[in-house]
Amino acid sequence: MFRKAEKSKSKLRLAITGPAGSGKTYSALQVAFGLGGKIGLICTEHGSGELYSNLGEYDIAELTAPFTIEKYIELIKEAEKHYDVIIIDSLSHAWAGEGGLLEQHDKLTAASKSGNSYTSWGKITPLHNKLIETILQSKSHIVATMRAKTEYTITDSNGKQIPKKIGTAPIQRDGMDYEFSIVYDLSIDHLATATKDRTGLFNNSDPFKPSIETGKTLLNWLQNGVEPMKIKTDNEKYSELSENVMNLFAQVDPKNEINRRIKTCIECQWNEQKIIERLNKALSKPAEPAKTDEERLFLLPTEIIELFNSIDPFSTDKKKIDWCKTKNWNEAVILSDLRKEKESLDKKLNKVG
């Protein structure tokens, strides 16, 4: 159903890229302090995240090699239980670090019979997508840093030619920056340029140093809007069904199998009219007549009948039926007991022989 488009309150999804020494961790912390609340930093940089503990209060969790997607997701989900802002420093290791997706891809390709690297992406891409979904669906603000590939350019300074380090593309899968609402590219001078900005706050700004004020400005924009529409769970949707639907469910499913009922609702896209039509159709369908004992006996596996006749060649159908009833017509139990009885009978006959 269509509805009026309105800006909702949201959580920050900020990526900060830059070459080594550009101030990615420092900038991430400054923005986080401006956002306010408890801060948790996931550090893959050998404890470098603790170097800025003098700036303010935050907690840190070390993520060490192998840098698997599962480790990232586990820490992100654990962090969002306790922290308002999660800093991932850095995301590059998930892609190019030891045990990251590129290394996993190479191992899969080497282990395959064809050696076709293209088919290996079929297993790697879902892992990458799972990490993206975890970041996008997090209940906390996310600030992620990414290393940038480093190149050098020659600049003129007071008549001298001086090499200057610059960052180019982030070290992550191509297109990763599209998943974030804002992307800051940092220069070696610690100046940020917003190469992507859905907020519109930095589109025409000069390069700047990310600060606590930057975080406060972002927070003000994020909180400006209507409350986000809550996505109801299947159980919540089920509890809101009309009395008419519930009465029909009680007739169709007297055992009250909730999962089965919810599955029916999902198949009907939670449309009550469709659910009612489905349930009425089920009620109008004539019930399958119960099988007679003689029909049940006829449908038993051949091995069971052969065992019956081997144990007692003069056994009548009635005798067989009565015995099967004591086993509740459970074929597995019937077969097991008959085999035991046949084995016992054979032993007795062998002794006599």
CATH number at residue 99: 3.40.50
Q: Is residue 228 in a domain? A: no
Last residue of a domain, one of 198, 223, 248: 223
Q: Is residue 229 in a domain? A: no
Q: Is residue 2 in a domain? A: no
288-322 burial: b if 16+ Cβ within 10 Å, else e: eeeeeeeeebeebeeebeebbeeeeeeeeeeebee
> What pLDDT was estimated at residue 96?
93
The helix/strand/coil state of 300 is coil
Both 129 and 244 in one domain: the answer is no
Both 124 and 159 in one domain: the answer is yes
Both 106 and 160 in one domain: the answer is yes
Number of domains in the chain: 3
Last residue of a domain, one of 203, 223, 243: 223
Q: Answer yes or no: are the C-beta atoms of 37 and 143 closer than 8 Å.
A: no
Both 344 and 275 in one domain: the answer is no
Both 316 and 216 in one domain: the answer is no
The tens-digit pLDDT sequence of the chain (353 residues) is 577 888 888 999 999 999 988 999 999 999 999 999 999 999 998 888 899 999 999 999 999 999 999 999 999 999 999 999 999 998 999 999 999 999 999 999 988 877 778 888 888 999 999 999 999 999 999 999 999 876 655 556 666 665 554 555 788 888 888 899 999 999 989 999 999 999 999 988 899 999 999 999 999 999 987 666 677 888 889 999 999 999 999 998 888 888 889 999 999 999 999 999 999 988 887 766 778 999 899 889 989 998 998 888 888 999 999 999 999 999 999 999 999 998 988 888 887 65
Both 72 and 201 in one domain: the answer is yes
Q: Is residue 5 in a domain? A: no
Domain of 267 in residue numbering reads as 234-284
Q: How far apart, in Å, are the Cα atoms of 227 and each of 8, 57, 222, 224?
A: 6, 29, 11, 9
Both 33 and 96 in one domain: the answer is yes
Both 48 and 195 in one domain: the answer is yes
> What pLDDT was estimated at residue 8?
84
> What pLDDT was estimated at residue 165?
45
> What pLDDT was estimated at residue 272?
92
Both 92 and 213 in one domain: the answer is yes
Q: Is residue 4 in a domain? A: no
Task: Give the torsion through C-alpha atoms of 92, 95, 97, 103, to 10 deg.
Answer: -170
Both 277 and 331 in one domain: the answer is no
Q: Is residue 39 in a domain? A: yes
> What pLDDT was estimated at residue 260?
87
End-to-end Cα distance, the chain: 83
Q: Is residue 215 in a domain? A: yes
> What pLDDT was estimated at residue 25?
95
Last residue of a domain, one of 223, 242, 264: 223
Helix H segments across 224-330?
234-239, 243-252, 258-267, 272-284, 293-299, 302-311, 317-326
Q: Is residue 7 in a domain? A: no
Both 260 and 216 in one domain: the answer is no
Q: How far apart, in Å, are the Cα atoms of 214 and each of 208, 221, 279?
A: 10, 11, 56
Both 25 and 131 in one domain: the answer is yes
